[in-house]
Amino acid sequence: MAEVIMNGVNASSNMCKDLTNRCEALREKGVVPCLAILRVGSKPEDISYERSAEKRCTSVGIEVKNIVFPDNACEQELISKICQLNADDTVHGVLILLPLPPSINERSVCEALSPEKDVDGISSGSMASVYLGSGPGYTPCTAQAVMELLKYYNIPIAGKHAVVVGRSLVVGRPVSMLLMGENASVTICHSKTENLADICRSAQIVVAAAGHINSITADCLSPGQTVVDVGINFDDKTQKTLGDVDFEAAEPIVYAISPVPRGVGSVTTSVLAAHVTEAAERSLIQGGF
């Protein structure tokens, strides 16, 4: 049996206590931390994420502005709105719900967002900050949520071998950089990797972000490992949300494992709230109050 079940709800409430104090301090100085959420269309998964982001942010004292465009909105309309938000001193962070409809050039829209307000790390300015280890942008929230979970449960990272399964710009690549920033030796695996099970078994930390149910099975795991499951996959058979890891098979083998739900996903919106708070704090310094 795993010694540690890495519960994201516990890690998240720990973060929220600190954020509530920081938002209160900002309000006392006349700054109301504010997040604008920009959504195109009405996809149920977008609405669901928007609701949980809004709930988390308001719970710590962040104001939320919801901006909704119809499905047929054009790229230029979105870019104009983003430029307006970039220039609006009362808005500290902007969350654009992705993916955008296929008719829109998503990269152009992401690039329009100023890195200072890019609280989910979607612009290349933010990505550069992740790779450089410093800069004006923010780390993608999910990648940082993985690190917050490891930190909350005191999992040693420095000097360890970490395997990240997935190489997307939102999860796999940034989480690899963050682990390396904490002095792990990182192997990135993906859909074309040969001997995935052997590589995963050799690691002390496995981060699963492949986006497929049971892509990490018992043969990928070994005793003493820490397994962070980033996957959020809807299973038509059981009508449940499942991770990438076969939890039932993994839990008796490894040292620590994060469940789905109540794992990484529960920390992601708190990281978002932390980024908005930080952006508001930075604005105070830049405003010279």
Q: Which residues bind ligand NAD (CB under 6 A)?
A: 142, 165-168, 170-172, 189-191, 193, 196, 209-212, 215, 230-233, 264-265, 268
Nearer to ligand NAD, 161 or 167 (CB): 167
- Least distance to ligand NAD, CB of residue 288, Å: 36
- Least distance to ligand NAD, CB of residue 187, Å: 12
DSSP state of 216: B
Nearer to ligand NAD, 31 or 209 (CB): 209
Nearer to ligand NAD, 59 or 193 (CB): 193
- Least distance to ligand NAD, CB of residue 214, Å: 9
- Least distance to ligand NAD, CB of residue 180, Å: 17
Coil, helix or strand at residue 235: strand
Rounded distance, CA 208 to CA 172, Å?
9
Q: What is the DSSP string of 16-73?
A: HHHHHHHHHHHHHTT---EEEEEEES--HHHHHHHHHHHHHHHHHT-EEEEEEE-TT-
Please enumerate in sequence order all residues whose Cβ is within 8 A of that of 94, keeping only pairs 6 or more positions apart, or say none: 35, 36, 37, 38, 82, 85, 86, 113, 117, 118, 119
- Least distance to ligand NAD, CB of residue 284, Å: 29
* CB-closest chain residue to ligand NAD: 168
Phi, psi of 232 (to 5 degrees): -130, 100
Nearer to ligand NAD, 83 or 98 (CB): 98
Nearer to ligand NAD, 6 or 165 (CB): 165
